[in-house]
């Protein structure tokens, strides 16, 4: 063979091999990144696997578009952007500064921190409430020398966020989804959820008073900034009108996206796109299951009449958002299901994914004791779960 041609072939093979190697390394890195992301969001991973398996049984078609609840997805994204904007503007900091003026002892501090999570979660969702107020609790309890209260306060904040969020349709994703699916009016929704919410508030107040003691404190100093929240509050008003079915969701979503792009594009990264994808995957999975008559009928017979208990128990295993989506495909008793998946947010740490947020925030603190935290978390969650479950069954 001609030596020149031989060298050319060698060079081509060398560059080709290097290209293949680089491509394989790139795919390997991307695969590792994907696995790492899915490890951080196991519910997303499970929903993706479930959707893919169901697509094998029911091949993709144009009917898939009918599975998607675009109103829920659009309103959820709008709320994510608006709440991110309010946090960025320091609105919640300003509210907390006003609340802290009433703090005189450990009891009032505990009630303020727990109550803030309970009431804020009704409007900004349980996970955002915890992301906002748990770090504040860590800061204030360390400032005032009350680190002994750190675990009980964070545990009660977590319970408060999960229970307070049940009162309103926008309090958590499962409420928003079931509110849209059931076509309840806002008044009907509030009437259904108000009794258990009031009982939850009474239980939280009683336990907070029992645990906190009454050591005197100087009002803690907490500096925060507040600027430009008025426009975000106006957008939040649009979200409320959309929840009440006064405005179409498309108008609210377009306004939220346009305002975010014009004022602070970085906030687009703050939306929980993993949650939106989880919803999409479960829409596909449930839609495909309903196309399989034998499976659909068997699940409907199994669930009917047991929606409350099924919602509570399934939430302990797969979390209450996917439990609500799965069970709603096979029953129309949405009132019992709503109560079940909301009360079911108590119990195990994965019963509500918001509970994992406060756990992660706690273990990042100095001298954290994860075992003690999980012990107290389980104790108080099971106590609240038992009382609310029995009370709801009795009613």
pLDDT digits (tens, 9 = 90+) for 213-260: 778 776 666 655 566 788 889 998 999 899 888 999 999 999 999 999
Residues 33 and 140 in one domain: no
Residues 53 and 172 in one domain: yes
pLDDT at 11: 52
Quote the CA–CA distance of 157 and 310 in Å, as a whole number.
26
pLDDT at 136: 87
What is the number of domains present in the chain?
A: 2
Residues 158 and 256 in one domain: yes
Q: Are 241 and 256 in contact (CB under 8 A)?
A: no
pLDDT at 387: 96
pLDDT at 16: 53
pLDDT at 195: 95
Residues 319 and 217 in one domain: yes
Phi, psi of 298, deg, nearest 5:
-65, -45
Residues 249 and 105 in one domain: yes
Residues 290 and 340 in one domain: yes
Residues of the chain with pLDDT under 50: 15
pLDDT at 7: 54
pLDDT at 231: 87
pLDDT at 34: 53
Residues 6+ apart with CB under 8 A from 59: none
Two tokens, residue 191 = 């009437």
Residues 108 and 14 in one domain: no
Q: Which domain holds residue 19?
A: 1-40
Q: Are 130 and 157 in contact (CB under 8 A)?
A: yes
Q: Are 224 and 88 in contact (CB under 8 A)?
A: no
């Amino acid at each position: 063979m001609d030596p020149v041609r031989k060298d050319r072939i060698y060079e081509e093979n060398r560059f080709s091999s290097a290209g293949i190697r680089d491509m394989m390394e790139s795919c390997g890195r991307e695969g590792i990144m994907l696995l790492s992301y899915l490890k951080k969001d196991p519910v997303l991973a499970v929903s993706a696997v479930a959707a893919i398996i169901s697509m094998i049984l029911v091949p993709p078609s144009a009917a898939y578009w009918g599975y998607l609840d675009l109103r829920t997805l659009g309103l959820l994204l709008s709320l994510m952007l608006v709440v991110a904007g309010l946090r960025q503007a320091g609105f919640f900091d300003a509210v907390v500064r006003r609340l802290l003026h009433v703090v005189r002892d450990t009891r009032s501090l505990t009630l303020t921190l727990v109550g803030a999570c309970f009431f804020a979660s009704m409007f900004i969702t349980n996970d955002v409430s915890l992301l906002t107020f748990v770090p504040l609790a860590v800061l204030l309890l360390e400032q005032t020398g009350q680190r002994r209260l750190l675990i009980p306060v964070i545990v009660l904040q977590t319970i408060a966020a999960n229970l307070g969020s049940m009162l309103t349709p926008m309090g958590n994703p499962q409420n928003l989804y079931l509110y849209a699916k059931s076509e309840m009016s806002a008044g009907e929704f509030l009437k259904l959820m108000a009794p258990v919410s009031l009982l939850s508030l009474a239980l939280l107040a009683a336990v907070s008073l029992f645990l906190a003691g009454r050591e005197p404190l100087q009002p803690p100093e907490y500096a925060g900034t507040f600027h430009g929240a008025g426009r975000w509050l106006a957008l939040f008003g649009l979200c409320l009108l959309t929840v009440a079915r006064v405005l179409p969701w498309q108008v609210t979503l377009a306004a939220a996206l346009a305002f975010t792009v014009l004022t602070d594009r970085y906030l687009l990264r703050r939306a929980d796109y993993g949650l939106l994808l989880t919803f999409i995957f479960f829409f596909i999975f449930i839609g495909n299951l309903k196309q399989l008559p034998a499976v659909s009928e068997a699940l409907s017979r199994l669930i009917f009449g047991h929606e409350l208990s099924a919602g509570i128990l399934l939430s302990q295993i797969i979390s209450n958002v996917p439990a609500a989506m799965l069970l709603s495909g096979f029953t129309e008793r949405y009132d019992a299901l709503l109560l079940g998946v909301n009360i079911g947010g108590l119990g195990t740490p994965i019963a509500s994914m918001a509970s994992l947020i406060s756990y992660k925030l706690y273990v990042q603190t100095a001298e954290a004791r994860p075992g003690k935290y999980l012990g107290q978390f389980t104790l108080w969650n099971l106590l609240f779960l038992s009382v609310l479950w029995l009370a709801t069954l009795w009613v």
